[in-house]
Amino acid sequence: MTHHDYHLAAEAGTFEIGGNLTVNRLGFGAMRLTGSRVWDDSAEPEDREGAKRVLRRVLELGINFIDTADFYGPEANENLIREALHPYPEDLLVATKGGAVLYESGGWSTDGRPEHLRKACEASLKRLGLEQIDLYQFHIPDPDVPYEESIGALAELESEGKIRHIGISNVTLAQLETARRIVPVASVQNRYSIAHRDDDDLVDACERDGIAFLPYHPLATGDLAKLGGPLGEIAARHDALAGQVALAWLLHRSPVIVPIPGTSSVDHLEENVAAASISLGETDMQILDAA
């Protein structure tokens, strides 16, 4: 079952981000395309043509949601997406983020100042070749800037038409509530997987309120994939890989979850897409939920 027929299965369903942007419920996280130097201040893909091939294959496979950030590279990731896919198909949603910065000397920091977010958003618009970013996400809360101020800056950009929908990332439930008092929040992007479920409460809150939950590191399996473990057993039963079952679990966990696994390999991308056709039964889900 590892490679299905190379197209995103209808079983995965769709989700309407912000109530009006329909995406298939398996997206693509573009971060890894920038290569092993993604945190470098001058990262470029080791194989630029190969990275562009992956992006084109993403669309061929039926994925219409790509997640990136100005921070990846920095800038290189957004440039690559434009180079490979512009002019974009009408149904493609390219989401990006602002609010984190890399230093030339190495290391990174948060920057949630309104003036930085404005500059970051405008630069992303240019790099991606867009007049409006469909989903712009505040990358990470800045401890030196009140969260309300950062979100307020995005609200302004939305009212100017530069952003269509606002998302937030790396947040607590309290920060989601704070943001929602200021703007409608279309998505939350946090680390979440079968092996890392600390944000169950956030997933439930998003499901209750129709907010997309975009788990990053969705393929993490931890000890569950160990020989004789529950994940391995269920994977064997479905003639699948542990990582595919981990993705299938996310798709079954909540209808608002849109996983965004990333890879720089076409083969791995096809494996991920095949996971959408795995139908986990009630018993499978009970075993995995309890694991």
pLDDT tens column, 83-108? 999 999 999 999 999 999 987 777 88
Q: Total structural domains in the chain?
A: 1
Neighbours of 21 (CB within 10 A): 20
The structure's pTM equals 0.95
In a domain, 288, yes or no: no
Q: What is the CA radius of gyration of the chain?
A: 18
Active-site positions read 72
pLDDT per position as a tens digit, 16-57: 999 999 999 999 999 999 875 555 545 577 789 999 999 999
**Domain assignment present for 205:** yes
Q: Name the residue type at position 32.
A: R
We report the CATH number of the domain holding residue 65 as 3.20.20.100
Evaluate whether residue 52 is within a structural domain: yes
Are 264 and 50 a contacting pair, CB within 8 Å?
yes
Instruction: Identify whether 233 is part of a domain.
Output: no
pLDDT tens digits, 221-237: 999 988 888 999 999 99
pLDDT digits (tens, 9 = 90+) for 164-209: 999 999 999 999 999 999 999 999 999 999 999 999 999 999 999 9
- The two tokens of residue 276 are 């959408």
Residue at 274 is within a domain = no
Dist CA 15 CA 278 (whole Å): 18
SS3 183: coil
**Residue 84 belongs to some domain of the structure:** yes
Kindly state the percentage of the chain with pLDDT values over 70. Answer: 95
Domain assignment of residue 242, yes or no: no
Can you give the residue range of the structural domain that contains 147?
Answer: 19-220+255-262
Residue 279 within any structural domain of the chain: no
